[in-house]
A and B are shown apart, each in its own frame.
Chain A
Amino acid sequence: MSQPFLELSLVSMAFKTRQGPFQALSDINLRVEKGEFVSLIGHSGCGKSTLLNIVAGLYRCTAGGVLLEGREVDQPGPDRAVVFQNHSLLPWLTAYENIELAVKKTSGGKRGKAQIREWILHNLKLVQMDHAMTKRPEELSGGMKQRIGIARALAMEPKVLLMDEPFGALDALTRARLQDELLRIVADTGSTVMMVTHDVDEAVLLSDRVVMMTNGPAATIGEILEVNLARPRNRLALATDARYLSARKAVLEFLYQKQLKAA
């Protein structure tokens, strides 16, 4: 078998707390192929964001390891750009400058001034925000901010795009629009994506595989569902598609029967 693109092997994470160590994740194994869209789903507190942060390099796992193209992940970097849940745009910079901060630093001299500008505009157009390039985050709606956040991450040309509940803070209609946009962008750019979500429809609609996590403590991967739906996917057509509905049902069963958690 060939070397996997992204490989998590026996990843465990223990946090130090006042009551002693807390085992958040234990023995997580996952292989992600290039161009694959994988989502992590589970009840809140199951450690799915922690796992994403480990892949991002923002946390160091306490056991096991993550390999990206055969190299160990030991620090954050632009090859694993993150779209944060609350956009994390710098409020004192315009949309353009927010992306520029990332591009200037990650282009590493391989682009000239004009090319940097062109690349930033290209990414703004990709998320259809080129009209708002001179606006500061406070002047943008939640959905627009998240678009800029996605553009900033894409502009770093990541090997893996990591998304931490990217649409969690948005209203349902905006969320649906951005999901459709993300489908288009991922198709255009061929990105490899790992996304944390707690939205079953979002996971099934967007993903090639849905990784379902058990409840913590010592959370691990419970089941992995392959979503064999052809792309491009259409939300309306899928609403009555039997394969879509059965995939959705499988995730729901996992979350609400096998992993039912006392709220």
Chain B
Amino acid sequence: MTTTATLAAPPEPASARKSDTVTDLGAVAAAATTTPTVKARAAAAPAAPTARRRPAWLDTLGDCAAKILPPVVTMALLLGIWELASSQAGASLPPPSKVVADTRDLILHPFFDNGGNDVGMAWQLLASLERVLYGYSIAVVAGISLGVLVGQFALAMRGLDPVFQVLRTVPPLAWLPIALAGFRDGNPSAIFVIFITAVWPIIINTSIGIRNIPNDYRNVARVVRLNGIEYFWKIMMPAAAPYIFSGLRVGVGLSWLAIVAAEMLIGGVGIGFFIWDAWNSSRISDIVLALVYVGLVGFMLDRIVSWIGRWVARGSSVN
């Protein structure tokens, strides 16, 4: 279990900490225009109005700049280095300018459909997302159920935990041949691979969350005589929610990792297949574009689960 402890760390109270950082950055940006000494003196002595009279919109602008500028600068730097490196004679990868030029049609027309596998990027992504949705949903239901079982009952823990610990180390793609043999079809096999990839962190985090429910809460439930179902909804789920959602976040990230690899092998439609197809016809720029989309969608999935987690678990991580 020790190896999984890092997965199980409950999410930090992000809202509080983030807002701190933002204000700090804002203060830094504000301080950049006035010297720190002037600012300190202004705060101490109210008789120095020039340093303090600063319109509110300027502060807001400073806040925004402090948030947006660093990633923009980083991106520009990375793109610049890439452009320089790939513009050398004999470079094997296209520079960003060429990628954009090559993939103009794909970027501008994400929803075209020429039949068969020749469809726009949006359709490819949606096909992948649909598989992830099915596989991940099954993983959520099965993972939380098994996690509750293992977390709540010592006997189930002793019986199942060793199996889980071994199976969760099997790489996602190693399941694909077994799945293909079992389902005799690509699509359910890909969904199965998503499921089997995402389910382990959900099981393990849920069970840790359940085991970490303070004894006091259990005692309250016993004194009030909550029945099993009431205990599950009113104590167990809210108390373990921060752990469960950190498992769900890890799970959704892993399933997005796995779908691309699985689709490369099963073919058909999907962003993974698109990448493999592009490689087979040497459309390197298309691959680069697909990677950008894969990254953005993965980031969005993570944000969505994290946002739902914060909304559901509001209050329960604080004791």
Residues of A within 8 A of B (CB): 56-58, 75-78, 80-82, 84, 86, 88, 90-93, 101-102, 105-106, 136-138, 156
Contact B235 A78 (CB under 8 A): no
Known: A84-B216, A101-B234. A76 touches B223 (CB 8 A): yes
Do most interface residues of chain A lie in helix, strand or loop, or is the interface mixed? loop
Known: A91-B318, A92-B315. A81 touches B235 (CB 8 A): no
Contact A102 B219 (CB under 8 A): no
Do most interface residues of chain B lie in helix, strand or loop, or is the interface mixed? helix
Residues of B within 8 A of A (CB): 214, 216-217, 219-220, 222-226, 230, 234-235, 238-239, 313-316, 318-319
Question: A6 CA to B76 CA in the complex, in Å?
Answer: 78
Contact A90 B224 (CB under 8 A): no
Contact A92 B225 (CB under 8 A): no
Distance (whole angstroms) from the CB of A196 to the closest CB of chain B: 14
Name the contact of B224 in the complex, choosing from A58, A93, A102 (C-beta under 8 A): A102
Name the contact of A76 in the complex, choosing from B214, B222, B230 (C-beta under 8 A): B222
Q: Which residues of B contact A137 (CB under 8 A)?
A: 319
Distance (whole angstroms) from the CB of B85 to the closest CB of chain A: 52
Known: A58-B219, A78-B225. A90 touches B238 (CB 8 A): yes
Name the contact of A86 in the complex, choosing from B216, B239, B313 (C-beta under 8 A): B216
**Nearest chain-A residue to B313 (Cβ)?**
A92
Question: A228 CA to B235 CA in the complex, in Å?
Answer: 43
Name the contact of A91 in the complex, choosing from B219, B223, B225, B316 (C-beta under 8 A): B316
Top 8 A-B residue pairs of the complex, sorted by shortest distance between their CB atoms: A88-B216, A92-B316, A92-B315, A76-B222, A92-B238, A138-B318, A76-B223, A105-B224
Contact B315 A91 (CB under 8 A): yes
Contact A105 B315 (CB under 8 A): no
Q: Which residues of B contact A90 (CB under 8 A)?
A: 217, 220, 234-235, 238-239
Cross-chain pairs A/B with CB under 8 angstroms, 21 sampled? A58-B219, A58-B222, A76-B222, A76-B223, A78-B224, A81-B223, A84-B216, A84-B219, A88-B214, A88-B220, A90-B217, A90-B238, A91-B319, A92-B238, A92-B239, A92-B313, A101-B224, A101-B234, A106-B225, A137-B319, A138-B315
Distance (whole angstroms) from the CB of A98 to the closest CB of chain B: 9
Distance (whole angstroms) from the CB of B296 to the closest CB of chain A: 33
Distance (whole angstroms) from the CB of A145 to the closest CB of chain B: 11
Q: Which residues of A contact B222 (CB under 8 A)?
A: 57-58, 75-76
- Excluding A56-B223, A93-B315, A106-B224, 7 further A-B contacts by CB distance (< 8 Å) are A77-B225, A84-B219, A88-B214, A90-B220, A92-B239, A102-B224, A105-B230
Question: A90 CA to B238 CA in the complex, in Å?
Answer: 9
Known: A91-B315, A138-B315. A82 touches B223 (CB 8 A): yes
Q: Which residues of B contact A93 (CB under 8 A)?
A: 315
Q: Which residues of B contact A77 (CB under 8 A)?
A: 223, 225
Distance (whole angstroms) from the CB of B237 to the closest CB of chain A: 10
Q: Which residues of B contact A78 (CB under 8 A)?
A: 223-225
Q: Which residues of B contact A106 (CB under 8 A)?
A: 224-225
Question: A102 CA to B319 CA in the complex, in Å?
Answer: 19
Question: A86 CA to B319 CA in the complex, in Å?
Answer: 11
